[in-house]
A = this chain, B = another copy of it.
Amino acid sequence: MKLIGMMDSPYVRRTAISLALYGISFDSLKLSVFSDYQEFSGFNPSVKAPTLLTDDGVRLVDSSLILQYFETLAGAEKKLLPTAPAALARDTEILGTILIAAEKTVQYVYEHRLRPEEKQYQPWVERVTGQLLQACRVWESQIAGHVPSDNPDQVAVTGTVVWSFIQLMIPQVVMKSEFPVLQAIAEHYEAQPVFLRFPQ
């Protein structure tokens, strides 16, 4: 099994850490969708990270789809999501908030790094920034009261990875001092072996 993509992408990193927790072994090929476009296109002509090549020759993309596949196949003791409907709804709610924060951060970063300054569009930046900060506020309130454990679940994995990504990329936009719960939980998990195995 080969996982293709850079660990500074939260989508690649959440996939890598989740696979490790499911007990799936894989090789990590750290190719960039930008600087390694040509080489990456040999694995996936649409050049999308993460791309996961299974041992059966199936090519999976989209971290949520990949994780759904392994979550479905995982035995009860390996699952990273609850199976009881109410608990699953709550975790799905929080994951949705986290994925909005990830998407809006990516949009913010792309606007600033992939375009020359004269092609950047301030109303878009403002829209995305507002949505991002709202998502972080909702996320902070949704996660308040969560007690970090030694057994990270999918909310812990995705939340930690996305928060660390935000803090790597745009700490001046989403200030950690304003989100103490998110910061404390991410710090807790980033110190665990499976997160240390796949640094940003």
Chain A residues within 8 Å of B, Cβ to Cβ: 41, 45-48, 54, 56, 58-62, 64-66, 68-69, 71-73, 81, 83, 85-86, 88-90, 92-93, 95-97, 99-100, 104, 114-116, 119-121, 124, 131-132, 134-135, 137-138
Contacts and interface: CB of A to CB of B under 8 A. Distances in A.
Given A46-B134, A60-B96, A96-B61, A89 B69 contact: yes
A56 B86 CA distance: 9
Closest 3 CB pairs of A and B: A61-B96, A45-B134, A64-B64
A115 B66 CA distance: 33
A83 B90 contact: no
Chain A contact residues, majority secondary structure: helix
A61 B56 CA distance: 32
How many copies of this protein are present in the complex? Answer: 2
B83 A72 contact: yes
B58 A73 contact: no
A68 B158 CA distance: 16
Given A46-B100, A47-B131, A137-B45, A92 B115 contact: no
Contact of A64 (B60, B68, B81, B89): B68
Contacts of A92: 58, 60, 65-66, 68-69
